[in-house]
Structure 1
Amino acid sequence: MATTKPEQGILITDAVQVVLKHWAETNALQDESLLTFEKLLTRYATFVTKLGVPALADQSEDLAAQWIQAKGRDRSGNVKLPALSTMNTRRAALRKFFRDADALNLSDTGLFVRVYVAPRPTGLARPLTKDEAERVWLYAKDSGSNTRRPVMFALLLSGVHSSEVGLITTSDVDIANQRVWAHGSTDRIEPRWVHLPDPYFAAVVDRLNYLRGWVPPFRTFETFQLTQGTTHRPAGKSQNRAASACKEVFKMAGLHNDPRITPSSVSLYAGSRMLIEGERLEVITQTLGYSSLDACAKALGYDWKTGEIG
């Protein structure tokens, strides 16, 4: 039962639990989003309680802004400002929470979080150059087949997107035709076969051989994901792992200070390489899974008039 104090009304910690239970019972959010919002709202409740504002009725946009913009620590323990994506997610969690708390009659604050967060940059990513791709592959492949990094970058450099890479299982590999089945993601990227150049496909084969010897007796080899060794993981977590791996390799390759180099840059390299080699844009669009030639050209930064890329 929610804890209340006559002079305060329901506490923010209890209100969070009530709203989370409502979301779970009504399937208001996908499992991954529910887990993310639960973590964020629990942290927010702890944050404002420590500031001496534990009641839901006393929450304000100023408190929300303080938390949305609060600094954190990276893996090295350094204090850093939150990324734009982090602030956007924090704000989204608070907006939905306060709206649904009012709908459940937990309060009548009518609070709407209007904190400004700069929009995420769009259209910034560019394909890796040949030299950059070679450096990325050099550092990625040295990890060995007992790690997921070589196979992950083999897939990315061949045109599989970071949102797809964690979904590919051992049964998605077509050895005879040197290709893998990419599952697509959202409405933007379509399912398709992706051909892998020799060095990248060799990394996939090495990973398959490693997993055959490593798979425990209670698991089926055909259901193992190449980059995780397990199945049924939320797509969001797979994408986060790919992003983290890219960040680490970019730093080793000396590419981490270029704001236009993102995980998408690795996948787009396959398209730029094919363009430079004279491949038709129709074939490249199919390889990268885009739904239209224009979408593919835009992602690559391809100028129809000049033929320049990026």
Structure 2
Amino acid sequence: MGVFRLREGLRADGDIAVAEALSLVESDWERQVGNATISAGIIETYVRDLLGFVAVMAMQRITTVAQVTPNMVLAWCLMPLTDGTPAAENTWYRRRSAVRSFFETCRCLGLADANPAKSVEFAQRSGRFVNAFDDVSMAQLKRVSRSTLGDTRTPCALAMVMSGSTTRELANVTVEDVDLAAGRVWVHGGGYKCRDRWVPFTDEWCREAVEQHVVGLRDTYGDDAKPTWLVYMPHPTHPNPTRRAEAASGLITRLLQKARVHQPGQTRAESIREWLALTVFEETGSIEQVALRLGCASLDAAAHLVGYDWVAPSRQDPAPLHRRGGAA
């Protein structure tokens, strides 16, 4: 992480008001947004959450950054919404991410060395739920993605996820990874849960959406277009894999919200891939094909996406009498 250097003018590590620190952090984030190294949408969400965090700290009479503890961060992450309803699990993680990023930037600016949010952990998530979009919602997403004149990036991003890419993989795809002639794209960088693979475009709409965006990038950058990322705009001066992933995820999330199909704690970007998983399974009846298309590292993961029970078929008929428990 490097050596921490205290900001000039501060008497001690963390000796700055929480609200003042947020103002400095927000200014630094705005500078990074201007340099295209941070997604503006992500920063807007962070700042909105952090304003609430600052207000809660003020109510608890926490006057400086140094006074913030992990338990305070945890309590705020789990705090109910203003209407009294419990915060969704996704909200816990979003709030924690905002505070962690805040303290990381505080360290970069020389405001505080420690990051109390770094040690905050929640109870183990329950088994991952599946909430796939239906065909009506997918048609709505397609329509809304093209609602802004001149925007080819959003339809392209939707087409990529519809074809099987995760948002993490989407952040790594460049113009050079797209094979328009063969109607496919090489998706990669999905981590240990996803295998690098070629995925075909789901339908003609997806192919046209990707082609239109790729052709536009080639027209703009010429020979320099090959290493250009499809969704992280454009040619960032300081590439950052985390920021690229946030930009890709934020782009899809904003589309879900604009199309009014986003339900916090229920539907999310992965619901698009879950729709694809069900579509592939209905067409082929093969868990293996689902795993290949979505890059699942295990057949169990693919089976979970489509609600397939590996055990149920073998239990349709009872065992012979002499093999049943308790038989003589």
**Would you call these one fold, judging by a TM-score over 0.5?**
yes
1:227 partner SS = coil
Q: 1:269 to 1:188 in 2, by over 3 A?
A: same
Q: Tell me if structure 1 keeps the 8 A contact 2:168–2:249.
A: no
Shift, 1:207, TM fit: 0.9
Cα deviation per residue 1:93-150 (whole Å; 9 max; x = unaligned)?
7999xxx9xxxxx99xxx9998785665652232222222222112213445643100
| Partner of residue 64, structure 2 | 54
Q: 1:161 to 1:114 in 2, by over 3 A?
A: closer
Output aligned runs, 1:86-125, within 5 Å: 86-89=94-97, 122-125=127-130
Q: d(CA) in 2 for partners of 1:279 and 1:237?
A: 38
| Partner of residue 126, structure 1 | 131
Q: Tell me if structure 2 keeps the 8 A contact 1:159–1:267.
A: yes
Q: 1:236 to 1:200 in 2, by over 3 A?
A: same
Q: d(CA) in 1 for partners of 2:188 and 2:149?
A: 25
Output aligned runs, 1:175-214, within 5 Å: 175-196=180-201, 197-214=203-220
> What's the RMSD between the two structures over aligned residues?
4.4
Residue type of the partner of 1:296?
A: A
Shift, 1:156, TM fit: 0.5
| Partner of residue 149, structure 1 | 154
Give the TM-score normalised by the residue count of structure 2.
0.63
Q: d(CA) in 2 for partners of 1:305 and 1:193?
A: 31
Shift, 1:245, TM fit: 3.0
Q: d(CA) in 1 for partners of 2:140 and 2:264?
A: 15
Number of residues of Structure 1 aligned to a counterpart in Structure 2? 263
Alignment pair present for 1:276 and 2:282: yes
Residue type of the partner of 1:168?
A: V
Residue type of the partner of 2:228?
A: F
Residue type of the partner of 2:191?
A: T
Residue type of the partner of 1:88?
A: R
Alignment pair present for 1:228 and 2:229: no
Shift, 1:157, TM fit: 0.6
Q: d(CA) in 1 for partners of 2:209 and 2:64?
A: 54
| Partner of residue 297, structure 1 | 303
The gaps in structure 1 that reach 5 residues or longer are 17-30, 74-80, 101-105
Shift, 1:250, TM fit: 2.5
1:223 partner SS = coil
Give the TM-score normalised by the residue count of structure 1.
0.66
Residue type of the partner of 1:272?
A: L
Q: Tell me if structure 2 keeps the 8 A contact 1:140–1:149.
A: yes
Q: Tell me if structure 1 keeps the 8 A contact 2:146–2:152.
A: no
2:190 partner SS = coil
| Partner of residue 92, structure 2 | 84
Residue type of the partner of 2:199?
A: V
Q: 1:13 to 1:294 in 2, by over 3 A?
A: same
Cα deviation per residue 1:235-273 (whole Å; 9 max; x = unaligned)?
333333333333333334332237431100112222211
Q: 1:113 to 1:194 in 2, by over 3 A?
A: closer
Q: d(CA) in 2 for partners of 1:144 and 1:306?
A: 50
Q: d(CA) in 1 for partners of 2:268 and 2:247?
A: 13
Q: Tell me if structure 2 keeps the 8 A contact 1:170–1:223.
A: yes
| Partner of residue 263, structure 2 | 257
Alignment pair present for 1:167 and 2:172: yes
| Partner of residue 28, structure 1 | none
